[in-house]
Structure 1
Amino acid sequence: MRLENLEEYTGLKCLWLECNGLQKIQNLEAQTELRCLFLHQNLINKIENLERLQKLDSLNLSNNYIKTIENLSCLPVLNTLQISHNQLQTVEDVQHLQECQSISVLDLSHNKLDNPTVINILEKMPNLHVLNLMGNELIKKIPNYRKIVTVRLKGLTYLDDRPVFPKDRACAEAWARGGREAETEERERWETKERKKIQDSIDALSEVRRQAEERKRMKEMDNKG
């Protein structure tokens, strides 16, 4: 199927084109207001012809046949890129990502990435906060994968299937500095701090109740007087 006849729809903000058997990204030049473009579950093998979409925030290319990430650095506000279930394999296939400085959410899951040095590319994405690498061989090749990626990608708040909480980051960084012993000590510090926070909340509530009871008692005494 060919993507065409969109010229008159110049004000579109979102465009859903999934599951259409599309083989090529084309004829989107008039869609200059587009914020979201959904092209997943098609037959696309090349990222191209997106230069006019200067307001594009979210792009879904999952479940296609793309072998190389390219031609995206021309999108200055691209925040979310979903490109899972494609044919990405080598470091070179994803190298272009380091030129895509605005990307915050990146889904690379279920590709064929097998080289741990892919992380070197991801390190150069300053705004990356959410990353999914599940289903790629490189995960098995990085010992202590979750800790390593958390330490190296300083801005991550979500990795694969769960959040990276401040406690997780602090423990991972302690592990990187001093091994398991340092990690255990850091975890104990956080647990102590969390227990104190809970106890402080209980104490504060008890004080509120005490003051309320005191006011009630004083009022009763005044009424008797």
Structure 2
Amino acid sequence: MGFDMNPQSLKKLCRELKLYSSAPELNDVLYLQQKGIVKLKHLDAYTGLKSLHLECNAISDIEGLDDCVNISCLYLNQNIIEDIKGLENLKLLETINLADNQIRRIQGLAGCPLLRQLNVSGNYIRTEDDVSHLLECKNLLSLDISNNKIDDEDALKLNYLDDSPVFAKERRLAEAWEKGGIEAEKDMRETIKKEEALERESHRKGDCFIQMHVSK
């Protein structure tokens, strides 16, 4: 049975993680990954959150975040999300990971003016029209759209983002393939995967350090 998000269960989790259970608004990070969560709810008291980890759950809708206006990093990778929505109040959002979901069209991000990093790899994006919403993301610097279902070459051009390093991962893979073929590309993919794992671990440790420091 999945984790039922309610005030009591969230307070219990905070106690277990040595976070603030009696004053949820003081928590700047919350770890809810791999909990079997189906529905996001009862986060209205967690107004101080800056980093929210919800990866590896069974979430289909992005909802219940209207009061979490301080979130800058949101991790929703490896869920079952089809539509990008419910982010209108997250004006401070800088990073969102939506990798490995069921997204077919990029949308719902125009209300996040500070968005700099977007990961939508491993989804069902196919055409130029599916990514045209990125025109409204003026501050986007990093975009990972690899491992989608793209069959429209125009969707890969994204000329309006040429001044930013949006396809660093794809570029590294392409260059590796050009130099050494499939095996070289495979090796580069493994290298990138290890780098991403190290980066996630670094962020996790950083969040833990910040929380521990504040608690003391």
TM-score by length of 2: 0.67
Q: Structure 2: 5+ residue runs without aligned partners?
A: 12-21, 173-216
Q: Who is 1:207 aligned against?
A: none
Q: Which runs of 4+ in 1 moved over 3 A?
A: none
Deviation digits for residues 146-181 of structure 1 (CA, Å, limit 9, x no counterpart): xx22x32155224251679xxxxxxxxxxxxxxxxx
Question: Among 50, 53, 75, which residue is 1:60 paired with?
Answer: 75
Aligned 1:1-225 pairs, distance under 5 A: 1-4=3-6, 5=8, 6=10, 8=22, 9-89=24-104, 91=105, 94-138=106-150, 140-142=151-153, 145=156, 148-149=157-158, 151-161=159-169
TM-score by length of 1: 0.64
Q: Is the contact made by 1:24 and 1:44 (CA closer than 8 Å) also made in structure 2?
A: yes
Q: Check 1:119–1:152 CA distance in 2 against 1; reply closer, same or farther (3 A cut).
A: farther
Q: Check 1:76–1:109 CA distance in 2 against 1; reply closer, same or farther (3 A cut).
A: same
% identity of equivalent residues? 25
Deviation at 1:40, TM superposition (A): 0.4
Q: Is the contact made by 2:99 and 2:121 (CA closer than 8 Å) also made in structure 1?
A: yes
**CA RMSD after TM alignment:** 2.0
User: 1:97 is paired with a residue of what secondary structure?
Assistant: coil
Task: From the CA coordinates, give the structure whose radius of gyration is larger.
Answer: 1
Counterpart residue identity of residue 111, structure 1: N
Structure-2 separation of matches of 1:137 and 1:50: 29
Q: Structure 1: 5+ residue runs without aligned partners?
A: 165-225
Bigger relative contact order (CA 8 A; separation at least 6): 2
